[in-house]
């Protein structure tokens, strides 16, 4: 696996691959990689002749009250696992390479309607940072397809809408959530949990499963299910952010006729903000 730190070097290398008519599959990350990320790399190996990943801790998607300095930086370890799982090229730029004039002067991309709800309401500007950096990375790598995890379902929808609205020809592939044996969704932020918090954390997935059963059995209204779920999380030790039932296609409040739903949860456990979701199809 080759590692590049500048746009020019990566573009020159990938140009050689394209001249050989090789397809490119891309997996963007912020580093501190775990088995969930590797499931994306393994899918990329199946989708493309050449697998490219990026490790870039994007300052644009961290709000003022979030400490980007606390985010784990494990580039050398990341290189080893990427190579072991079939990645051919790693792009690991610094902030100056990505934002030469600083992030405040950077042209921004906003997906209207999706960027300011759910996680976007709690983290103002977060999804503008996501869509902006992903657009830049797509322009740099020019992949045939890009692989994202379904754990951040809102992010996946933002990127899908962005690609559609900007007439990009990058094919977006979502991969199922990778979970630990106890159901906790794999996340770099799980490393913030204390031993006791890690014991509590699977309660989020259990609460999602409870809500799914309640919806399938039509035991209560959406509003009652949401509030009961919040109470279950708070009893377990979480601090609430949101617990919502939305339409899968646009993440808006569903009509009574809507059958394709997604249950989304975000909550704080100690210093960690955890997110998870379950999709559901009603009969």
- Among 37, 88, 126, 222, the active-site one is 37
d(CA 80, CA 90): 11
Catalytic status, residue 37 = yes
Active site residues: 37
């Amino acid at each position: 696996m080759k590692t590049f730190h500048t746009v020019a070097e990566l573009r020159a290398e990938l140009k050689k691959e394209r001249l050989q008519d090789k397809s490119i599959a891309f997996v963007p990350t912020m580093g501190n990689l775990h088995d969930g990320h590797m499931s994306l790399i393994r899918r990329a190996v199946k989708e493309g002749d050449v697998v490219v990943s990026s490790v870039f801790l994007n300052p644009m998607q961290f709000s003022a009250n979030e400490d980007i300095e606390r985010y784990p930086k494990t580039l050398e370890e990341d290189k080893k696992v990427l190579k072991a799982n079939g990645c051919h090229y790693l792009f690991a730029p610094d902030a100056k390479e990505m934002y030469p004039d600083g992030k405040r002067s950077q042209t921004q991309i906003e997906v209207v309607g999706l960027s300011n709800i759910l996680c976007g309401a709690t983290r103002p500007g977060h999804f503008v940072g996501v869509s902006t950096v992903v657009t830049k990375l797509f322009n740099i790598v020019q992949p045939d397809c890009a692989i994202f995890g379904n754990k951040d379902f809102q992010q996946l929808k933002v990127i899908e809408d962005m690609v559609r609205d900007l007439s990009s020809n990058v094919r977006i592939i979502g991969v199922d959530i990778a979970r630990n044996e106890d159901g906790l969704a794999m996340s770099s932020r799980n490393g913030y949990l204390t031993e006791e918090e890690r014991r509590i954390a699977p309660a989020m997935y259990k609460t999602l499963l409870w809500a799914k059963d309640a919806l399938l059995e039509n035991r209560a209204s959406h509003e009652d299910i949401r509030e009961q779920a919040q109470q279950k999380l708070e009893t377990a030790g979480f601090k609430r952010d949101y617990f919502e039932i939305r339409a899968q296609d646009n993440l808006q409040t569903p009509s009574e006729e809507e059958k394709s739903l997604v249950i989304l949860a975000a909550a704080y456990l100690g210093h960690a903000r955890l997110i998870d979701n379950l999709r559901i199809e009603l009969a």
